[in-house]
């Protein structure tokens, strides 16, 4: 009897925050996971060991998502180690907050390099290599809808992610590959919490009717849904924000 082929997921930004929660959830779902990380070897090792301690299979690969050679190597490693790629979760991202009148343009360029070019490079390899029946999951933000002050540059970069996702979903016609974006609201990660005082955090937690911040596990649940059973959701942006309007 031939066994069912195990699905294989690449998770960029998978060593911390939402990316790590997504990697751990996909491993819990039975997928082999390749964690791509930018530079912190200690965090990447800890993420892999956490998955392995629960009986899952994972490796870590250092890769700059905006570097096409590094991303090609990432996919090569996934294919060599596990035989292919079925799911790509592109959670790597950079966020710098500043009013439009004051933002340093090098910070704008840095965000666009990771958030736009990085998404494009990862999705380019995904379009070439993800096996039929797979899923590509990119990360946007609810701020594209909430339009909060100081978020213009970040929201602009994530609006581009949504455009890439929708177009790629149509370009992969006939292959049974879904492409969607997840748009978290305020979520209790280091990326969100850094630089915010308690009053700001409390105010943002009250923006949704559930009156709390999201958790990485909340967002990982959406990723798990899109990576597996959600075969009829395609070319969409899912707002995972507790109902913030």
Q: How far apart are CA 83 and CA 233, in angstroms?
A: 26
Catalytic residue among 37, 82, 151, 154: 154
Tell me whether residue 198 is exposed, middle or buried, using C-beta atoms within 10 angstroms of its C-beta: 0 to 12, 13 to 18, 19 or more: exposed
244 close to 208: Cβ distance less than 8 angstroms: yes
- Parallel/antiparallel/unpaired status of strands 58-62 and 237-240: unpaired
Q: How far apart are CA 210 and CA 225, in angstroms?
A: 21
Q: How many CA atoms lie within 13 A of 50 on its CB side?
A: 19
DSSP letter assigned to residue 200: H
151 is catalytic: no
Measure CA 162 to chain center. Answer: 12
DSSP 23-80: HHHHHHTT-EEEEEESS-HHHHHHHHHHHHHTT--EEEEE--TT-HHHHHHHHHHHHH
Active-site residue numbers?
Answer: 154
């Amino acid at each position: 009897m031939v066994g069912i082929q195990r699905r294989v997921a690449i998770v960029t930004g998978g060593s911390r925050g939402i990316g790590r929660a997504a990697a751990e959830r996909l491993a819990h779902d039975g997928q082999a996971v390749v964690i791509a990380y930018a530079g912190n070897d200690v965090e990447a090792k800890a993420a892999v060991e956490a998955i392995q301690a629960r009986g899952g299979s994972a490796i870590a690969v250092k890769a700059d998502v905006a570097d096409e050679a590094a991303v090609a190597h990432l996919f090569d490693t996934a294919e060599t180690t596990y035989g292919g790629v079925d799911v790509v979760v592109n959670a790597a991202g950079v966020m710098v907050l500043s009013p439009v009148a004051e933002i340093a343009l090098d910070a704008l360029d840095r965000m666009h390099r990771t958030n736009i070019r990085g998404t494009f490079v990862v999705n380019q390899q995904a379009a070439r290599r993800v096996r039929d029946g797979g899923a590509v999951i990119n990360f946007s933000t609810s701020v594209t809808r909430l339009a909060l002050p100081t978020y213009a540059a970040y929201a602009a970069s994530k609006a581009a992610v949504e455009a890439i996702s929708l177009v790629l979903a149509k370009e992969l016609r006939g292959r049974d590959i879904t492409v969607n974006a997840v748009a978290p609201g305020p979520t209790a990660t280091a990326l969100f919490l850094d630089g915010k005082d308690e009053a700001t955090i409390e105010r943002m937690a009250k923006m949704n009717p559930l009156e709390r911040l999201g958790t990485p596990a909340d967002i990982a649940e959406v990723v798990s849904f899109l990576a597996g059973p959600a075969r009829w959701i395609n070319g969409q942006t899912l707002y995972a924000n507790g109902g913030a309007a």
